[in-house]
Amino acid sequence: MDKLSVYVVEDDESIRTMVVYALNGSGYEAQGFPDSRAFHAAMEQAMPDLILLDIMLPGEDGLSILNQLRSSRRTEHLPVIMLTAKSAEIDKVRGLDLGADDYVSKPFGIMELLSRIRAVARRTVEAGKTSAPEGEIYEYRNIRLDEGGHIVTVDGKEVVLTRKEFHLLSDLLHNQGRVLTRDQIMEQVWGFDYGGATRTVDIHINTLRKKIGDDGSIIQTVRGIGYKIDREGGR
């Protein structure tokens, strides 16, 4: 199996050096960058499989970089783990809102970091490489979702969704008739349970509704619990 490549964007030289050394010693191909300028230059040359991205960076911060990554078709599905200050709860929520796949709070242990990387890689990188070309196809009213092709169309026209939005819609369609709590959605779509980030689910639901033209009758809000899509009208 090819080694997974990891870009480490961290301005603290001691942390950056330690993480890169540990990753390379654990079977990854890691490179470190002190700021957004060096990172963007490297991205023009080669794309990594996963990014470790510090929030507090000189100049352009990590959240701004993450927003750019998620706004580009080239990098919208690239797995990103945010490195955050332990006390900065709001940064964790903002990172998840922008589409981060996970976060690690400083100070962190190398074993914890490696575990988080492996978990994200299983959910994203390796799953994408081993998935079969055929997948489940869901049709509901004017919406068609092709899991194998990772394509969503509304009235026959393709709608561009981020990876999280795609999995969120797929999960709701797969569980038609069932109410999914916000915690269940966090676990199933983001891959971990973080109770403080249920606002992240609401934000992604609202964005998804706008993209698929949902007037509220397709993705239903179950007050105080979560969301669902009824069985009626779909298959």
* pLDDT given at position 77: 83
Percent of the chain scoring above 90 in pLDDT: 44
Tokens linked to 15: 């942390």
Confidence band of 234 (pLDDT split at 50, 70, 90): very low
Q: Which of 30-44, 98-112, 193-207 has the highest mean pLDDT?
A: 30-44
* pLDDT given at position 133: 41
For the chain, the distance separating the N- and C-terminal CA atoms, rounded to the nearest angstrom, is: 38
Amino acid (one-letter) located at 136: E
* pLDDT given at position 60: 94
Mean pLDDT of 99-114: 89
- Quick check: helix, strand or coil at residue 165? helix
* pLDDT given at position 235: 43
* pLDDT given at position 105: 87
Angstrom distance (rounded) from CA 202 to CA 110 = 32
Check whether 192 has a pLDDT greater than 50: yes
Question: Could you write out the three-class secondary structure of 80-134?
Answer: EEEEEECCCHHHHHHHHHCCCCEEEEECCCHHHHHHHHHHHHHHCHHHHHHCCCC
Check whether 1 has a pLDDT greater than 80: no
Contact 83, 110 (CB under 8 A): no
Of 107, 47, 112, give the one whose Cα is nearest residue 80.
47
Q: Is 119 left (phi over 0), alpha (psi -120 to 50) or beta?
A: alpha
Give CA angle at 172 (166, 174), nearest 5°.
Answer: 95
* pLDDT given at position 127: 52
Task: Say whether pTM exceeds 0.75.
Answer: no
Q: Which helix (H) or strand (E) holds 221?
A: strand 220-222
- 123-166 pLDDT per residue, tens: 776 555 444 345 688 888 889 999 878 889 998 899 888 878 88
Q: Which of 85-89, 179-183, 198-202 has the highest mean pLDDT?
A: 179-183
* pLDDT given at position 125: 63
Confidence band of 186 (pLDDT split at 50, 70, 90): confident
Q: Helix, strand, coil shares of the chain as percentages rounded to 5?
A: 45, 20, 35
Amino acid (one-letter) located at 173: L
Mean pLDDT, rounded, of the chain: 85
Contact 221, 209 (CB under 8 A): no
Q: Is 152 exposed, middle or buried (0-12, 13-18, 19+ CB in 10 A)?
A: buried
Tokens linked to 37: 């300028």
- 92-103 pLDDT per residue, tens: 777 877 888 888
Check whether 194 has a pLDDT greater than 60: no
* pLDDT given at position 203: 85
